[in-house]
Amino acid sequence: MDTDAAEPDGLERRQRALAAFTARLDEYAAGLPPRERRLLEVIIYRAMSPLERVRAHGDVGLLTPDEERLLSELDEDNLGR
Amino acid sequence: MAECSLIVKATRLCNLRCTYCHDWRAGPGQTMRFDVLARMTAAALRDPSHDAVTFYWHGGEPSVLPLAYFQRALAIQARFAREGQQVRNVFQTNGTRISDALARFLSEYEFSTGISIDGPPRLHDRRRRYVSGRGSFDDVARGIQTLRDHGVPTGVLMVVDEATLEIGPEAIFNFFIEQGIKTFGFNAVCPENQPDAAPGTPAHPYVASAAMTEFMAGIFDLWLAHGDRDVHIREIDAILSRLAGQPARQCQLQGNCLGSYFIIEPDGEVAHCGLFVGDPAYRLGNIRTDSFAALRAGLAMSALRRARQDELATTSACPEFGICNGWCPHQSYLSRRHDPSHRAECCGLDGLIRHIRRSAPPSRQSPVPLPVPVVRSRA
């Protein structure tokens, strides 16, 4: 068996499904009048977990370049564990 | 599911000078820097054994920090949280600085909040004062109202000392009900830890388990007579859960909290729980250099586990052991040193358990989950 061509794992499958769903939702929202679009955005926002809301807002301007760098380093070295 | 609870001393600065509190510090270097915050969060959320992580934001007083501090803390959490991992945040505050903006933030990001109130103003204002000496009750009441206005789940914690015992449970219970406070818990006041104190060493302030049992039994009777199932008292709900055969939700009844609850100081120092501050035996390492796996496998933790196992071996013959699981290690820590009535064979909770078992009808023995913080703290 060619393990390099293995099926995507559970996480990757879920991420792909989510991306496809998001694309369909974006398409649907684009066809709505502005008021209904805002309503849809509120519903989606409320359905998010707290950390998904944080990600939706983005952290632009919240962290300095040095702080961003530190987070990237921590992310990359996987904490050396 | 492995749960990890972090009591994060985001700052040791505090705007109050409560008469019994040893937790505040002044001067520079008392607030956790970004790099420590980032390393702590990454280490906690990337540990593969942590399916659920709760951040208890403590102080000092966390609300003396700007809102941006917590926005950044959440940004770090969002960066490192793993798929499917449960991440909760609890804000433990003295309630004097709850602005609309802070309450909106806590609501939007689904923080639970614990507020410290020491009963009616005549009690509270004697103990929970500003640096100037002015009592803080009115500001705390406003803070609670602001949290309610924004729909933030809020529980109240009260420190019980000699003055509380003198006033008695009825005045305290009625006060909470009159204030519309339906979720609350009680912490016995703690003296400063004296690791080398011999058995029977007097300590002040200190409420030993017998006095606390009498107080809590009174609270339980009042709660039962009151009959409102929406009133939740942390310690009573915890015992009722255990009597109903449910797992302990409160840290005190979980049996072995070692390795699950950590206090993180502003400089990254890690110790077991926040109750043992001042005793070097409970220091485990530093989160800037140690992983949680290393903290759990370290020599300090091994020594604590051995000592706890010895203690539990002595108390496990108690008929109520199946309910209390040996209770909180800090209770026995204090009792061994300062309670002249200390019994090695019982953790001290048996009287309250028996009282509740005798009195509670089965219909009251299955409480619903609480929004109140379930980790015990000093204030």
State phi, psi for B183 to the nearest 5 degrees. Answer: -130, 115
Choice between B91 and A16, residue whose per-residue pLDDT is larger:
B91
- The pLDDT-based confidence of B361 (bands split at 50, 70, 90) is low
Burial of residue B171, with CB atoms counted within 10 A of its CB: 0-12 exposed, 13-18 middle, 19 or more buried: middle
From chain A, pick out residues whose CB is under 8 angstroms from the CB of B74. 50-51, 54
User: Going along B100-227, which residue ranges are E strands?
Assistant: 112-116, 154-160, 183-188
Within an 8 Å CB–CB cutoff, is residue A68 touching chain B? no
Residues B54/B3, Cβ–Cβ less than 8 Å: yes
Nearest chain B residue to A12 by CA distance is B83
**Closest in B38, B43, B109 to A50, CB measured:** B109
Round the CA-based radius of gyration of chain B to a whole number and report it: 20
Residues 6+ apart with CB under 8 A from B138: B121
Contact: A81, B293; criterion CB under 8 Å: yes
The minimum CA-CA distance between B13 and chain A, rounded to whole Å, is 23
Residue B324 above 80 pLDDT?
Answer: yes
Nearest chain B residue to A79 by CA distance is B43
Quick one: what percent of chain B has pLDDT higher than 90?
89
How many residues belong to chain B?
379
The ipTM assigned to this model is 0.84
| pLDDT of amino acid A80 | 43
Residue with tokens 């937790």: B23
Strand partners, B130: B16
Phi-psi region of B27 (alpha: psi -120 to 50; beta: other; left: phi over 0): left
pTM of the model as a whole = 0.91
DSSP conformational letter for A39: H
Within an 8 Å CB–CB cutoff, is residue B179 touching chain A? no
Give Cα B76 to chain centroid, integer Å. Answer: 24
Rounded to a whole number of angstroms, the distance between the first and last alpha carbons of chain B is 29
From chain B, pick out residues whose CB is under 8 angstroms from the CB of A59. 72, 75, 78
Residues 6+ apart with CB under 8 A from B171: B119, B120
Question: What secondary structure, in 3-state letters, does chain A show?
Answer: CCHHHCCCCHHHHHHHHHHHHHHHHHHHHHCCCHHHHHHHHHHHHHHCCHHHHHHHHCCCCCCCHHHHHHHHHHHHCHHHC
Residues B287/B268, Cβ–Cβ less than 8 Å: yes
| pLDDT of amino acid B204 | 93
Pairing of strands B261-264, B269-272: antiparallel
Q: Which amino acid is at B132?
A: S
- The pLDDT-based confidence of A2 (bands split at 50, 70, 90) is very low
Residues B42/A74, Cβ–Cβ less than 8 Å: yes
Please give the structure tokens belonging to residue B189: 């006041």
Residue with tokens 């070692």: B258
The minimum CA-CA distance between B73 and chain A, rounded to whole Å, is 10
pLDDT digits (tens, 9 = 90+) for B274-319: 899 999 999 999 999 999 999 999 999 999 999 999 999 999 999 9
The minimum CA-CA distance between B72 and chain A, rounded to whole Å, is 6
3-state SS assignment for residue A73: helix
The minimum CA-CA distance between B173 and chain A, rounded to whole Å, is 34
Round the CA-based radius of gyration of chain A to a whole number and report it: 18
User: Going along B14-84, which residue ranges are E strands?
Assistant: 52-58
Nearest chain A residue to B47 by CA distance is A81
3-state SS assignment for residue B89: strand
In angstroms, the CA B352 to CA B331 distance is: 14
Residue A3 above 50 pLDDT?
Answer: no
How many residues belong to chain A?
81
Question: Which among B69, B71, B74 is the top mutation candidate for probing chain A, defined by the most A β-carbons within 10 Å of its own β-carbon?
Answer: B74
Within an 8 Å CB–CB cutoff, is residue A54 touching chain B? yes
In angstroms, the CA B118 to CA B18 distance is: 10
Q: CA dihedral in degrees (B340, B346, B347, B349; nearest 10)? A: -100
pLDDT digits (tens, 9 = 90+) for B53-87: 999 999 899 999 999 999 999 999 999 999 899 99
Residues B92/B114, Cβ–Cβ less than 8 Å: yes
B19-58 residues touching A, CB cutoff 8 A: 34-35, 38-39, 42-43, 46-47
- The pLDDT-based confidence of B125 (bands split at 50, 70, 90) is very high
State phi, psi for B97 to the nearest 5 degrees. Answer: -130, 40
DSSP conformational letter for A32: S
| pLDDT of amino acid B31 | 97
| pLDDT of amino acid B247 | 85
Residues 6+ apart with CB under 8 A from B294: B285
Q: CA dihedral in degrees (B243, B246, B248, B250; nearest 10)? A: -80
3-state SS assignment for residue B86: strand
**Closest in A51, A55, A62 to B87, CB measured:** A51
**Closest in B35, B75, B293 to A62, CB measured:** B75
Question: Which among B39, B49, B79 is the top mutation candidate for probing chain A, defined by the most A β-carbons within 10 Å of its own β-carbon?
Answer: B79
Choice between B368 and B101, residue whose per-residue pLDDT is larger:
B101
**Closest in B46, B76, B87 to A78, CB measured:** B46
- The pLDDT-based confidence of A19 (bands split at 50, 70, 90) is confident
Residues A24/A32, Cβ–Cβ less than 8 Å: no
Contact: A70, B34; criterion CB under 8 Å: yes
Average pLDDT rounded to a whole number, residues A32-52: 93
State phi, psi for B281 to the nearest 5 degrees. Answer: -65, -20
In angstroms, the CA A31 to CA B55 distance is: 41
Pairing of strands B269-272, B283-286: antiparallel
Residues B327/B253, Cβ–Cβ less than 8 Å: yes
Burial of residue A35, with CB atoms counted within 10 A of its CB: 0-12 exposed, 13-18 middle, 19 or more buried: exposed
Residues A35/B58, Cβ–Cβ less than 8 Å: no
